[in-house]
Amino acid sequence: MTTVPGPLGQAAGGRELVLITGISGSGKSVALHALEDAGYFCVDNLPPELLKDLIRLEQGRYERRVAVAVDVRTGGSLPSLVGLLERLQRSGTGILPIFLDATTPALVRRFSETRRPHPLSMRAHAQDEGHALLDAIEHERGLLAGLRDMCTVIDTSELRAAQLRTWVRDLVGVEASSLTLVFESFAFKRGVPLDADFVFDLRMLPNPFYVKELRPLTGRDAPVAEHLAQQPDAVEIVGQIEAFARRWIPTFEADHRGVLTFALGCTGGQHRSVWGVEQLAQRFASRPGTLVRHRELDGAS
């Protein structure tokens, strides 16, 4: 996850309105349902021009948490949302904007699996369905580029629905005034997470995969942890990542960043990167809002 300006102020009663937006097919319905299950009052496909009215109606309802989904289905009024969010920010209104994104291949696969049309596909000027979908996706990216820059971004390309639900619930449950620190492990063979702010490559470390007794285990298991803790390079690089994070986290906090993601990768995302993330999570455990993600392990559970 990444964010540029962070949450937009404090809501009435200390609560925030959660705004879910993003690319079609990236999981907005899953995210909204997760918040609905968590007790939020949810509004899907709200025209942006009605957002201010909704906020005004909700100001006196201190017990109700609200989430709104806004996307290209609203039509031509969507570009006005950028200016509206800027005005709400200046007025101190509390909004947590979350933008869901995914790679184009992932989106094409999802639309193919669900057999549902892209909301903008009727506007694409291509001869066949495949090109129409690609044109619609790229057109939508252009329409939402300005909005994306104002939001916390979650890359859902490699996430299962259960993972996305957990990530969204974790994000909205963290105190808005603090920086959310995310340590994420991943496999390079499945691609670098798009939501990473910093990426560290641990593939040069000795691979426990080639130790017969350690191959079926993960970096969470004590035998793997003990094996890597005996490798001077492994200990050194984790220490250097920790030092880097401690040096620059205050600067990002001063810049009002909401989320900062450190992604550690290895070949399969099972041993070295997982161990490194667990080590860093332990060292930053005293910080409120420190989250751990294991993309490949979470996806297999």
Around Cβ 15, how many Cβ atoms within 10 Å?
A: 18
Domain boundaries, the chain: 12-173, 180-300
Look at residue 196 in the predicted model and tell me its pLDDT. 94
Helix (H, G, I), strand (E, B) or coil at 256: coil
| pLDDT for residue 83 | 84
How many residues appear in the chain? Answer: 301
Full pLDDT tens readout for the chain, 301 residues: 433 334 343 333 345 789 999 999 999 999 998 888 778 899 998 888 888 888 888 776 666 788 999 888 776 567 678 888 888 877 777 888 999 999 999 999 998 888 888 888 765 444 444 558 888 899 889 888 888 888 889 999 999 887 898 889 888 874 444 688 999 999 999 999 988 999 999 999 999 999 999 999 999 999 999 999 999 999 999 999 999 999 999 988 876 677 899 999 999 999 999 999 999 999 999 988 899 999 999 866 4
Map tokens 């995302």 to a residue: 269
DSSP secondary structure, 178-233, as one string: SPEEEEEEEEGGG---TT-SEEEE-TTS--GGGSTTTTTS-TTSHHHHHHHHT-HH
Tokens for 46? 């709200």
What is the three-class DSSP state of 88? helix
pLDDT score, position 124 = 45
Q: Quick one: pLDDT at residue 75?
A: 65
Confidence (pTM): 0.56
Structure tokens at 64: 């109700």
Contacts of 253 (CB under 8 A, 6+ apart): 179
CB contact at 8 A, 284 and 178: no
Residue 49, Ramachandran bin (φ over 0: left; ψ between -120 and 50: alpha; else beta): alpha
Superfamily of domain 12-173: P-loop containing nucleotide triphosphate hydrolases (3.40.50.300)
Long-range contacts, 163-168 (Cβ 8 Å, 24+)? 163/298, 163/299, 164/27, 164/30, 164/31, 164/34, 164/100, 165/30, 165/31, 165/33, 165/34, 165/37, 166/34, 166/298, 167/1, 167/293, 168/31, 168/34, 168/35, 168/98
